[in-house]
């Protein structure tokens, strides 16, 4: 971008003055993680009052209070079946965290291999790799790092991952055993994969016959727009193309009900669920079925879930609108930043002047606003262009959020003008 010398000096001096003003306000705002606000959590407090009393048997007669029921209660599996589009007998419902299920799948494949693996993933000569769509979810990348799985970055496009690149990599490199996907309102770009992308993922040839799609459908019922995006069913497509074992589909009620006390599921082919259940029996004598019953009796049906998610939407939408309003007012005319306008999910992806993202975060932290970890949306925490930051507006109240956004905007502008004038002075 090109700004005239005098204009740049003036913009830089204005940004310095503004920054100094906010620095003196002794702010302490932490909005680094995308977690539901107390008001959102309050929507599900009735969950704790669901009377189980003498009514603790599941539909199929399982005593929810006792050991056993490794696959999860029938009614919990049925409820998830309506959300993820996989038959209820091919769903496992576990504890509160879908991330834990993902980790355990990875660990299981690492130790034993999948039903299609020639050997345990840990025993593959030369190691294994995963495709990571960037910018993406830091906790997925952290899991790969934990296991020593190589990460190969593929850019996110408007309709999902760059599939030309994914196809080329997956067909030619047998060390690639998986891909992380957040297919709906993805974290952090809020992208919903198109039908064509889902079909290609399900049908493309893979050099590794045990290639797996880790389909993290964390935002399956989380629109911010009135009409929810529709997502093609990866399982149906995989079956159609003869790759029924390829997708491992995860979801949870964490961001529908109480994040610390939701229920999570893994869905997939019969082979995959049987594989999972075999190892699960070693780990535990069964999941918390009392909570499964409570969750099902609270959420009741897809229609009720929709009503609840509409209440979440009403609480979240003004915050996401505020992000756009403040960024647009503060940064819209300078051309030093751009940001997404999410249709759903929990995040806004902010792109600042390349070379300044770290500095923006540093400046904001010095002014009392903690809002992002630079590089966190990239494997190994490395954003080579130092340009991308994740904004999570859900938790703070609207006043705090507005202040934080004003500070972030000033920091984006200050870092950009400092950078541009430093570059101009050496030219």
Q: Which residues bind ligand PLP (CB under 6 A)?
A: 34, 97-99, 137, 182, 187, 216, 218, 252, 254, 259, 264
| 13 Cβ contact list (under 8 Å, min separation 6) | none
Q: Tokens 């997939």 identify what position?
A: 268
Comparison of 323 and 415: residue with beta carbon closer to ligand PLP: 323
* Closer residue to ligand PLP in complex, CB, 155/242: 155
Identify the DSSP state of 208.
S
Element of type H or E holding 251? strand 247-252
- We find the least distance from the C-beta atom of residue 69 to ligand PLP, in angstroms, to be 20
Degrees (nearest 5) of the Cα angle 204, 210, 211?
A: 45
Please state the closest distance from residue 143 (CB atom) to ligand PLP, in A.
Answer: 11
Give the shortest CB-53-to-ligand PLP separation in angstroms: 28
- Report the alpha-carbon distance of residue 1 to residue 217 in Å, rounded: 38
Strand partners, 151: 130
Least CB distance to ligand PLP at residue 160 (A): 15
**Residue 35, token pair as written in the block:** 């977690």
The radius of gyration of the chain's CA atoms, rounded to the nearest angstrom, is 23
Nearest residue (CB) to ligand PLP, 251 versus 408:
251
Peptide bond into 188 cis (omega under 30): yes
Quick one: how far is CA 118 from the chain centroid? 31
Structure tokens at 119: 């050997």
Q: How far is the CB of 385 from ligand PLP (least distance, A)?
A: 23
- Which C-beta is closer to ligand PLP: that of 185 or that of 327? 185
**Two structure tokens written together for 307:** 């009503």
Task: For the CB of residue 380, give the shortest distance to ligand PLP in the complex, in Å.
Answer: 18
Closest CB to ligand PLP among residues 62, 295: 295
- Cβ proximity to ligand PLP: between 97 and 245 the closer is 97
User: C-beta of 250: minimal distance to ligand PLP in Å?
Assistant: 7
Shortest CB 257 distance to ligand PLP, Å: 11
Tokens for 154, please give them: 């593929």
Nearer to ligand PLP (CB atom), residue 182 or residue 238 = 182
**How do strand 348-352 and strand 337-339 relate by DSSP bridges?**
antiparallel
The burial of 141, by beta-carbon neighbours within 10 Å (0-12 exposed, 13-18 middle, 19 or more buried), is given as buried
Q: Would you say 104 or 116 has its CB closer to ligand PLP?
A: 104
Between CA 187 and CA 71 the distance in angstroms is 28
CB 326 within 8 A of CB 402: yes
């Amino acid at each position: 971008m090109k700004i005239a010398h005098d204009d740049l000096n003036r913009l830089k001096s204005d940004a310095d003055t503004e920054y100094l003003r906010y620095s003196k306000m002794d702010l302490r705002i932490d909005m680094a993680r995308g977690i539901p606000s107390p008001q959102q959590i309050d929507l599900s407090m009735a969950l704790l009052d669901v009377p189980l009393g003498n009514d603790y048997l599941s539909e199929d007669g399982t005593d929810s209070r006792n050991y056993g029921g490794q696959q999860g209660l029938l009614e919990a599996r049925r409820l998830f079946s309506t959300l993820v589009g996989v038959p209820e007998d091919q769903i496992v419902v576990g504890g509160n965290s879908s991330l834990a299920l993902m980790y355990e799948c990875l660990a299981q494949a690492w130790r034993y291999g999948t039903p299609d693996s020639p050997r345990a993933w840990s025993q593959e000569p030369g190691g294994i790799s995963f495709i990571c769509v960037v910018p993406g979810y830091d906790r997925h990348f952290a899991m790969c790092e934990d296991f020593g799985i190589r990460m190969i970055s593929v850019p996110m496009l408007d309709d999902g991952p760059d599939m030309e690149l994914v196809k080329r990599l997956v067909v030619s490199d047998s060390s690639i055993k998986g891909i992380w996907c957040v297919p709906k309102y993805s974290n952090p770009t809020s992208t919903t994969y198109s039908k064509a992308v889902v079909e290609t993922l399900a049908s493309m040839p893979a050099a590794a016959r045990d290639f797996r799609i880790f389909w993290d459908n964390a935002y399956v019922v989380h629109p911010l727009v009135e009409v929810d995006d529709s997502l093609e069913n990866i399982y149906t497509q995989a079956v159609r193309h003869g790759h029924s074992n390829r997708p491992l589909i995860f979801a949870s009620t964490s961001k529908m009900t109480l994040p610390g006390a939701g229920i999570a599921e893994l869905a997939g082919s019969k082979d995959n669920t049987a594989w999972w259940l075999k190892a699960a029996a070693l780990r535990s004598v069964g999941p918390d079925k009392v909570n499964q019953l409570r969750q099902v009796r609270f959420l009741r049906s897809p229609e009720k879930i929709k009503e609840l998610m509409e209440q979440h939407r009403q609480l979240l939408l003004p915050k996401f609108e505020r992000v756009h309003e403040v960024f647009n007012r503060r940064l819209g005319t300078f051309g030093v930043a751009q940001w997404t306008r999410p249709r759903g999910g929990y995040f806004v992806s902010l792109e600042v002047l390349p070379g300044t993202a770290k500095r923006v975060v540093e400046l904001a932290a010095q002014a009392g606003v903690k809002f992002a970890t630079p590089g966190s949306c990239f494997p190994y925490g490395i954003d080579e262009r130092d340009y991308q930051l994740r904004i999570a507006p859900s938790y703070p109240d609207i006043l705090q959020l507005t202040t934080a956004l004003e500070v972030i905007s000033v920091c984006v502008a200050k870092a950009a003008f400092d950078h541009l004038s430093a570059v101009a002075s050496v030219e």
